[in-house]
Amino acid sequence: MDVLGRYEPLVDDPAAFRAACERPLPYTVRVNTIKSSVERATAALDETGVGWTAAAWNPRLLELDTDAPGRTWPYFLGWLHGQEAVSAIPALVLDPQPGERVWDACAAPGSKASQLAELLGDAGRLVANDASLGRLPALRANLDRLGVTCAAVTHGDARTFSLAPFAGERFDRVLVDAPCSGEGTVRKNPAVLDDWSASSAAGLADLQAGILRRAVEVTRPGGVVVYATCTFAPEENEAVLDRVLGAVDATLVPFDCPLAAEPGVTGWEGETFDPSVRHARRIWPHLNDTGGFFVARLAVGS
């Protein structure tokens, strides 16, 4: 099946979209300001002879001219962490504030969890959860290397996550970076297209809807939930939002996206979605020379 071809009706320039998906992804790292600073980290890269270019929209994101950033000493010390530029968007949209309670529902291996801790100023409570026991060591190792002290790591199905260990206190903000089909990662993992199937997408949509519904339930009134995936599939994006909006007290709200993006689609293969899904943002690979991502922000009601 031509997986990329199924999404061409959704993009403004199908040829550019396909060409971008076939190019290798640039190597990008995030400066970890818990341990360092942009000035200190870039000076260290200069010292080691690794060239870098800061992203125009975020000076903490650096594109490197090496394919092995993990072998540099500033990376080893936790001053840098490998992270695709586009994957930094969901945490920025969530916008956690120092002292808040934040839940990362699907946190491993920890790029976004550590970014959330950084945005929190490593102050407050970050609960980094993952359903995969095998992925927890990587999550813990990354949080430790990056100097995160405000995080508690938990293991469990996010759909049935309990607030009991946290005195029943609901969270101020929740990130759901949901398990997905992952076509947006095609530039670093071309084989992801070989694994795509409609039945798999449908099963993932059930999982995603369950996690998002629970995320809203454990967020305080006036709080924020961000739903994100790295798939192009409307079945796992707008359709999931449409499904959950009818079951929870939350609304989709617009937000400023620092990268060029398109609005969510309100229909797909004969199915129509709640018009508010247009507030979500689709970040296509050809718009910014990045991977692909889908991001939506929900405001939680009473």
Catalytic residue list: 230
Q: Give the Cα separation of 69 and 90 in Å (integer).
A: 23
> At 18, which helix (H) or strand (E)?
helix 14-21
Token match 């920890």: residue? 110
Angle (deg, nearest 10), helices 198-217 and 238-245: 40
Contact 274, 242 (CB under 8 A): yes
CA distance 279 to 282: 10
DSSP-assigned states of every residue in 137-169: HHHHHHHHHTT--SEEEEES-GGG--SGGGTTP
Q: Two tokens at 95?
A: 């916008």
Tokens of 192: 């992801």
For residue 8, the tally of other CB atoms under 10 A from its CB is 13
DSSP state letters, 112-141 = HHHHHHHHTTT-SEEEEEES-GGGHHHHHH
d(CA 157, CA 207): 10
Give the integer Cα–Cα distance in Å for 88 and 111.
8
